Amino acid sequence: MNLRFTEEQEMMRKMVRDFAEKEIAPFVERMEKGEFPREVLRKMGELGLMGIPVPEKYGGAEMDFVSYIIAINEISRVSATVGVILSVHTSVGTNPILYFGSDEQKQRFLPKLASGEYLAAFCLTEAGSGSDAKSMKSRAVKKDDHYVINGSKMFITNGGEADVYIVFASTNPELGSKGISAFIVEKNSPGLVIGKDEHKMGLHGSRTVQLSFEDMRVPVENLLGQEGEGFKIAMANLDVGRIGIAAQALGIAEAALGAAVEYAKERQQFGKPIAAQQGIGFKLADMATNVEAARLLLYRASDLRAQGMKCGMEASIAKLFASKTAVETATEAIQVFGGYGYTEDYPVERYFRDAKVTEIYEGTSEIQRIVISKYL
């Protein structure tokens, strides 16, 4: 097992780190005030970051999966907001079309998604169906050359900003999960209504909205895969999506550890830097150990995926551990900063607020344990 990045992956890491520090960091304050980072995404599109796994023939960068994960990891060290926008756009927004779309759908949507001209969203969750995703109530009924979709969705990342929505609705409720179908819905579809903008604890620059479908008309050619294949499409893409969220969580944990180490070396109490006080030194050591373990689990799952091997269990293990590490490391970083850590003058309170949701979205930690235990 190779535990080093290839030369190409290392170049990707350096390029993205540089971009994040120069182009994303100056935008963080505006995102914290709720501004969506359109300008940042445009520049990411120019660099090929909005279509990392998309083949060159569709205008993508056609890079390996590990490089994609490196990009989310590096971006999230600076901004978990931009990290989740990229992860949702790619893992669960673009990939369903890449892996399950018809040639015509790929040609129509992938070049625009890969260039960043289009942003994508993934619409699975509903008010009454979060973890129990297959109990969704949205319904799609075929009528001549289109489907009529009615229902609503909740907590849709990139919602309201996206141009393309991957929407799941049941075409045959009697069949349960096998009656769920997936649709590519364009933002100007009649009947697509953007609802409440959620005010979240963290990720302030990322938009999270409710959506409703009021006799929304979707042309039959926008059915993704076959009727009844939707749940499988959702689950298969979430397997990969969860590695992306693990990368986001690791980025937050790395940032929190880095900030805590720097501060502990500077801050003097009892006549020496607090890093030299064992209570703080041991804390930093535990944080670093967890971060390193999360990193190995993340890149192990990514490597399996890059080799085209099964990685569902490893993806869930990586997400479970990396998200727990993000929350714990950010919490401990605030403790190292003491009173200063509780203020908005330092970034650790943002890391803490951004970290929490990594234990919730793309499958809660409890759902990851269900997935892992099913594999066992």
What residues are labeled active site? Answer: 362
Shortest Å distance, C-beta 231 to ligand CAA:
5
Whether the Cβ atoms of residue 245 and residue 319 lie closer than 8 Å to each other: yes
Pick out residues in 282-341 that bind ligand CAA (CB under 6 A): 312
Rounded distance between C-alpha atoms, residue 309 and residue 301, angstroms: 10
| Identity of the residue, 87 or 329, whose beta carbon is nearer to ligand CAA in the bound complex | 87
155-179 as b/e, with b when 16 or more CB fall inside 10 Å? bbbbbbbbbbbbbbbbbeeeeebeb
Contacting range for ligand CAA; rule: CB under 6 A; set: 37-45, 297-305, 323-331, 358-366? 358-366
Q: Is residue 97 exposed (0-12), middle (13-18) or buried (19+ Cβ within 10 Å)? A: buried
367 near ligand CAA, rule: CB under 6 A: yes
Shortest Å distance, C-beta 78 to ligand CAA:
18
Pick out residues in 222-251 that bind ligand CAA (CB under 6 A): 231-232, 235-236, 238-239
363 near ligand CAA, rule: CB under 6 A: yes
Whether the Cβ atoms of residue 100 and residue 233 lie closer than 8 Å to each other: yes
Shortest Å distance, C-beta 229 to ligand CAA:
10
| Identity of the residue, 244 or 341, whose beta carbon is nearer to ligand CAA in the bound complex | 244
Judged by CB under 6 A, the residue of 54, 86, 133, 243 near ligand CAA is 133
C-alpha dihedral (94, 59, 312, 89), degrees to nearest 10: -30
326-362 as b/e, with b when 16 or more CB fall inside 10 Å? bbbbbbbbbebbeeebeeeebbbbbbbbbbbbbbbbb
Pick out residues in 79-118 that bind ligand CAA (CB under 6 A): 84, 88
| Residue closest to 249 by CA, chosen among 367, 35, 73 | 73
| Identity of the residue, 112 or 242, whose beta carbon is nearer to ligand CAA in the bound complex | 242
Q: Under the rule (CB under 6 A), what is the footprint of ligand CAA?
A: 84, 88, 122, 124-125, 131, 133-134, 157, 177, 231-232, 235-236, 238-239, 312, 361-363, 367, 370-371
